Amino acid sequence: MFKHSERKKILLFILLIIFLIMKTHSQNEMSGIHYQPIGVIHTNYTPETGAPRQGILVPDSSGIIEIFPEYRAALTTLDLFDYIIVLYHFDRVETWDPMVKPPASDHRYEFGLFATRSPRRPNPIGFSVIRLNKIESGKLFVSGIDAFDGTPVLDIKPYLPSIDCVKSIQNESIESKLGLHAL
């Protein structure tokens, strides 16, 4: 049927195809991290008006987080907590820089991006600890929020002081020294 040399070529060709498929599959796993929003943030903030640098700095700022119907059952017992952590996607961020100067910092210093809270990141994920005032019909009424209207919500977790609030003299010292202290 096939000569020995032709069988070798066919076998090598098949092995090459298998290798390429495996390599493509492996690359897709690394670059294929995908999230679906569970809801959307509604506030009066827009790119034109701006938003607070940190929501904690404007505790009376208010908004509504609308949770999509398929995720509303997951809100059960969330109303037991006064504060929640909201993870969201900075959907309007287009670029990032490895070095930044935060707005309220001592401008004699330039910071590596990962040493800041800048929204302009390679993976533009926002993180806010905000006050949960009430939940009604899949809507979370919140205050101390710092996101633009229409921002996609990725996840919500309860704020747990015993876990989420770590006392660090080193962090407090550098925060103050570099002018990053929020309050």
- Segment 58-83, tens digit of pLDDT: 778 899 999 999 999 999 999 999 99
For 8, half-sphere exposure in the C-beta direction (CA atoms, 13 angstrom radius) is 3
pLDDT at 106 over 90: no
Tell me the pTM: 0.76
The single residue listed with the structure tokens 């790119």 is 47
> Distance between CA atoms of 179 and 101, rounded to whole angstroms?
11
The single residue listed with the structure tokens 């990053």 is 180
Beta bridge partners of 32: none
pLDDT tens track for 153-182: 999 999 999 888 888 888 888 777 766 665
Residue 165's identity, in one-letter code, is C
Q: What is the mean pLDDT of residues 19-37?
A: 71
168-174, Cβ contacts within 8 angstroms, sequence gap of 24 or more: none
Furthest C-alpha separation in the chain: 82
- pLDDT for 77: 97
- pLDDT for 174: 78
- Positions of E strands within 68-168: 83-89, 99-100, 111-112, 125-136, 139-143, 152-158
Q: Which of 50-64, 121-135, 150-164 has the lowest mean pLDDT?
A: 50-64
> Distance between CA atoms of 131 and 56, rounded to whole angstroms?
9
